[in-house]
Each structure stands twice: as C-alpha cells, then as structure tokens.
Amino acid sequence: MAFSRFAYLASTALVAVATPALAQEAPAPAGTTAEDDTITITGIRRSIADSIQTKREAGSIVDVISAEDVGKFPDANVADSLARLPGVTVDRQFGEGEQLSIAGVEPALNRLTVDGHSVASADWGGNPSDRSSRTFNYSLLSPTIISQAVVYKTPEARLQEGAIGASVDVVTRKPLDLKSGTIAATAGGEYNDRAKRGSFRGSALYSWHNADDTIGFLGSVSYDKEQLSRAGSAVYWYRTGDALLANAPTTATINGKNITALTAAERSSFSSARFASFLAREFFKQERERIGFSGAVQARPTDNLTVTATGLFIRGNYDNVSNSAYTYGFEGSRLISAESSNGIVTSATFGGIPTGQTGATGQLDTNYRRTRLKNDSVTLLVDWKPGDWEITGNVGGTKATGGKDPEYLLDFRTQQGFTAGANGQDTVVNWAKPASDPTMWLSNFTASGGSNLGAQDLARNGGVQFFGRQIGGIPLQSGFTLDQEKFAEVNFKHPVNFGPVTEILFGGRYVDHDNKQTTYSNAVFTNQNFTLADLPYYVLPGGLYNGLGVSGNGAPYATLDRDGIIASLAKYGNKQIDRGFSFNEFFGVNEKIAAAYAQANFETGKFRGNVGVRFAHTSDEAKFYTASNRSGQTFPIYT
C-alpha cells in the first residue's frame, strides 16, 4: 500500500537590519592618489569581504564560507571548513569530520545541496552512527572544488523542503567565473602514530575559457589517503551481582568471605552492584583512499543565456580490519571469587573449562571488510535572462553505492579461566595464559565440538549432511546500500515595484528518489581442529593500550591481519553454505516529490526579508519482508 502526504510550508517573513558594514580602508601609498591607483583586496581579507557581501544581500539568516582562489581552504574536507561557522557542530568519526549537526539538530534533519541539487549518499557501513537516509558524508568533498558554502539557518519558500535544522548549499567553481588558464594545486601529508604509517593528500585544478567568454571548461581532481587506527576497551553487556550469585558454588567467596557466610545485608549489597560483563579489548585499522573528479563545461552563446554541464565522480576504498578479544559474561556456576566496592563489581574470577569437556570462556573475533564507495552526479543548468526576467533550470541525476562486499568473518574460542572487572574508570582482564599466546585461541570446532547442519542449511547444501562447526562467514554485499535520485526544476525571478516588494520568485521541482539496503548471507564451517598458532598470526604492539586504563594480560593479544583472515577461511573452511538473500535485513523506499513555490522579497529602509509559500506533495512506498507465522514463508510487504 502506498501513501501520499501533502505539506504546505509558509515561510516566515525574515527581517534583517541592513546596517552599514564597518571596515578599515587601506591607505594609499605615498605619492599616489585614490584616483590613479586601484587597490585589489586578495587573500583572507577578500574571502571575508565576499562572505559579508553574500550575507548582506541575503533575505534570510545565513552563514557563508568563501574561498577567493581554488585550494586556499586549509581543511581536509568541507565538513572541517563548515565547522568554523557558529552553530555548526561536526560529527567526527575516527578523527575526521563526516556529518554536520546544525543548531543542535542531528545530521539526518539537515539538507545538503551542491549547486542547488541533491547529492546521493552511501557510506562504508562501519560506523555505529551510519544511517541510510538523507545524511551526506562531507568527507567525500574536497574544499578545492568550492567557490562558496552557504548555510541557510532559516527557511525560504524557494529552498528545498526536508531541512529542520538548516540547508547547506555548496557552490562549485565554474570556468567562466575564473581567469582563463587558472591552475591550482595543493599537497599535504599526515602520519598516524598508532597505525605507524603516513599518507598523502593532494588536488589539482585547471580552468580555461576563450577570449570572448563564450565557452569554457574546468577539471579538478583530488586524492586523499589516510591511515586510521583505534584501540580501546569495551563492555558489551552490564549485569548486576545477583547474576553472579545465581548457582554459585558454595566454595565461592565474595569480598574475601565464603558465600554461605554472607549476611542478608552483604548479599543484598552485592546483588545490586554493577558488573561489566563481556569485557573486551578492541583494535580497528583502516586505510581510506579517495579519488574525486569534478568537471564543468559552460557555453554562453548569447549575453543572456548560459548553459552549464557539471559532473562529480568520487571513488572510495575504505577497506578495514577489526578484531576484539573478550570474556564471556558467565553467571555464578563458574564463579570462584568476586570483589565489589561502591556499588561496582571491581573483580570477578571464573574457572576454566575442564580438560576433555567442550565449551568456551571467551572469544576472539577477526573481521576484514572490503568496502568500496561510488558517488556520481551529473547536471545540466540553464540560466536565461530575457529582459527583466531571470529563468533557471536544473535537470540531472545522482547515484551512490557503498557497503561491505564481501565481509570476511572468522572467530576463535578459549577455554581458560579468567579474572575481569572494572572500577568505573579502569578495566582489568587476566587470563590463565596471556592473550598473546596463540595456542589459547581455539577453533570453534576444537572448543565446542561438532554438530550436524540445521534443517535450513541442510536444504541449502542439497540435503548432504556435514558434521562440523561454523567458524565464520563470507557474506556478500553485507549492508550494501543504493541511493539514487533523478530531478528536474525550473525557477523564475522578476523585479517588481509593489511598495516594499522588490522581487517575485516562483517555480517547481520534481524528484524521484530510491534508497535500499541489501545483504546476502554466507556461513563457513569446518570439521578440523586448529588453533591460532597454526595460522599466520601476529601480536598487537605492546604499547597500543597505554593511557586507556587497561591492565592485565588480556592485551596485547594475538590476532590476524587481512591476508591471514582470508587464508585461514580458505584453508580450514572446508564447507561453505550460501544462505542467500537476507530477507530480514532488506528494505527499499521509493519517494516521489512534486513541489511548487511562490516568494516575494521585500526591502524598505534598513529592513528586508521575504514571505512565501511552498507546496509539496510527497508519495512514499516502502518495501520490506516478513515471515508468515503459519507457513514460515517470506512475503514482501508494502506500506
């Protein structure tokens, strides 16, 4: 079932006080006069002057960043540049600005346009805050392509709907706006002391137009490579002391006292104490490599007609390796002793799995994600000024894809006893053997024994039974997103003299937008006994967790890098079962928007502003899957 939504947006009359700008005039050099010399402002001063002029002419509350020449932004991406504006907060992931929160409004509720049109967005799927929605990853845009970035903090009827916080319009460089033969280049580097590697970033631009200013082209290329590394401690689940008391052996001690001798008050106090269960040591490493190309071709066949074709193409490689070594959150059946203080279980010791028995006390997860981002946008803009009219048209399309394709998952188990705890600031994990000992990390088959395939996997395997244990998987297109949009719009502007009203604007826009996420699942099984020692393991650097409040022999730990994970799955994963399309992880949304607006700009004395109305008709169709309780079959659902 599809539904439609009508929305009427009446823009508020935005009144600004047009007070004179105060500026210092540079004195003329000795021996000259203002009449025989022209002083041209360049550099940062010119950029500030351009920003002030744009804000002065705006009929709403805006903030502006301008660059006089290409490449003069000192920032790594557009998000870092916009963060210099008041009220703009950057959401940083792995030390790099990616999304914007404006006036306290979360990123998905702000709107980004490039030269007035939307840009499709997809991400690499590794951030907990990733969302497939209207957000945009600003780290993909190099500042070298920017002429201006305008943040509209209040609405106008002419602006696209969908922004609650603010609308951001990035205006790119055009060849007829630059001097012919303009060449610009930037270069830089960085070094990550955790990754122990450095990287390079740079950009170059060339712009040309003929002597008559009737045709021109511009091309810009940017390259950015980063080495990211992150280590930390994490708690996957919190419990209370009553879970440790449940089924605890009579030999266990609590705060140095036998459990059977605890008073009611002591038992009650320990029962409510908070326990950091599933305590982990994590490590993440990523190499980000982005290359972007933007181009523009402009033609001005007559003085009042300009046609501009633009293209923006971005390719990103976000391959990454992550691993996590963590304890299991046992209840009291394996408890040996525990200590608590100030409502926190600061330490709990558990026994290991007896020799000859199956089971595990902890786990090591190793993941390699091959990720690729693509972002393409093409537009055709027409600017026609017949008489007093100004007519602009914009038509084009934008498409982005991103996600893990494939994702290599491999995990290990351990059967050792351990001590783990936290005091609210520091954490401790101590195993019977150091986590850097690869022999302590067993294959899941070695630790847990084998079992037959379940009914669904048996059917997928053609009815051929396999006795083993799953050790990981190689899912294709895991969380893979597709975002694309086709759009067309036309705008009219005409000066008038109706009292304080100086201009009238009206126009319309049509958008057809698709967004969906797809995952194909896979499981890798083995019936072989092996440990991490049988594989090309390595041990994390000894000082990796310095300053993080981490103690005990749980770090550094032995693990695998990208090549080791792939090789291990190939060597010991002697049965792969493709589980196919993951119905429960799929969604698809199609959105069609038809919008029209009318706006009047007014100015009287020191006051100016605008008033208008915008009409938007939105039709959304969402698709997902659900399983029937009666038959177990899966059906598509539309809403």
Task: Please tell me the least confidently modeled range out of 31-40, 157-166, 295-304, 612-621.
Answer: 31-40
Q: Which position has the token pair 């002591």?
A: 266
pLDDT in tens, 228-238: 888 999 999 99
Contact 39, 26 (CB under 8 A): yes
> What pLDDT, on a 0 to 100 scale, did the predictor assign at position 466?
95
* Element of type H or E holding 523: strand 501-526
Percentage of the chain with pLDDT > 90?
A: 54
Contact, 195 vs 228, CB < 8 A? yes
Boundaries of every domain in the chain: 3-25+41-638
For residue 74, pLDDT over 60 is answered with no
- The values of phi and psi at residue 530, to 5°, are -160, 165
What is the mean pLDDT of the segment spanning 488-507?
Answer: 95
Q: Are 151 and 498 in contact (CB under 8 A)?
A: no
Scored b (16 or more CB within 10 A) or e, 167-191 reads bbbbbbbbbbbbeeebebebeeeee
Residue 348 is encoded by which pair of tokens?
């709990």
Is the pLDDT score of 271 beyond 70?
yes
pLDDT at 27: 44
Residue 85: the pLDDT is 77
Euclidean distance between CA atoms 437 and 450, whole angstroms: 25
Residue with tokens 């319009």: 169
How is residue 631 written in tokens?
A: 């038959």
The stretch 512-533 carries a mean pLDDT of 94
- Please give the Cα distance from 5 to 620 (Å, whole number): 8
Average pLDDT over residues 155-182: 87
* Encoded tokens for 39: 């002083």
Rounded to whole angstroms, how far apart are CA atoms 438 and 538? 9
Write out the two tokens for 87: 């009220």
Q: How far is CA 352 from CA 175, 276, 496, 532, 620, in A?
A: 70, 19, 85, 19, 55
pLDDT score of 353 more than 90: yes
- Residue 59, pLDDT score: 64
Residue whose C-alpha is closest to residue 150's, from 101, 242, 78: 78
Continuous segment of H or E residues that includes residue 486: strand 476-498
Quick check: 431 pLDDT over 80? yes
Q: What is the pLDDT of residue 4?
A: 38
Q: Considering Cα of 259, then 264, then 266, then 267, what sign does the dihedral take?
A: positive
pLDDT surpassing 50 at residue 131: yes
Question: Three-class SS of residue 288?
Answer: strand
Backbone φ and ψ for 461, nearest 5 degrees, come out as -90, 15
SS3 call for 32: coil
| pLDDT reading at 194 higher than 70 | no
157 backbone dihedrals φ, ψ, rounded to 5°: -60, -30
| Rg for the chain, CA atoms, rounded | 31
Give the DSSP letter string of 457-485. Answer: HHHHTTT---EEEEEEE--EEEEEEEEEE
Whether 107 has a pLDDT exceeding 60, the answer reads yes
Which residue matches tokens 């997928």? 460
Tell me the two tokens of residue 492: 């009219």
pLDDT of residue 30 exceeding 60: no
Tell me the CA end-to-end span of the chain in Å, nearest whole number. Answer: 5
Residue 22: the pLDDT is 33
620 SS3 class: strand
**219 pLDDT exceeds 90?**
yes
* Dist CA 337 CA 251 (whole Å): 9
Instruction: Label residue 165 exposed, middle or buried (CB < 10 Å: 0-12, 13-18, 19+).
Output: buried
Residue whose C-alpha is closest to residue 565's, from 528, 545, 538, 527: 538
**SS3 call for 337:** strand
Candidate from 28-32, 50-54, 416-420, 570-574 with smallest mean pLDDT: 28-32
pLDDT in tens, 274-296: 999 999 999 999 888 989 899 99
pTM: 0.80
Plot region of 80 (φ>0 → left; ψ -120 to 50 → alpha; else → beta): alpha
pLDDT band for 315, please (50, 70, 90 cuts): very high
Cα–Cα distance measured from residue 111 to residue 160, given in angstroms and rounded to the nearest whole number: 8
pLDDT greater at residue 222 or residue 505: 505
Facing residues of 258 across strands?
A: 253
Taking the C-alpha atoms of residue 21 and residue 52, their distance in angstroms, rounded to an integer, is 8
Average confidence score pLDDT of the chain: 84
DSSP state letter for 377: E
Cα gap 604→610, rounded to integer Å? 12
Range 43-60 burial, b when 16+ CB lie within 10 A, else e: eeebbeebbeebbeebbb
CA atoms within 13 A on the CB side of 43: 1
Averaged over 128-152, what is the pLDDT?
Answer: 69
Q: Report angle CA 273, 279, 284 to the nearest 5 degrees.
A: 145
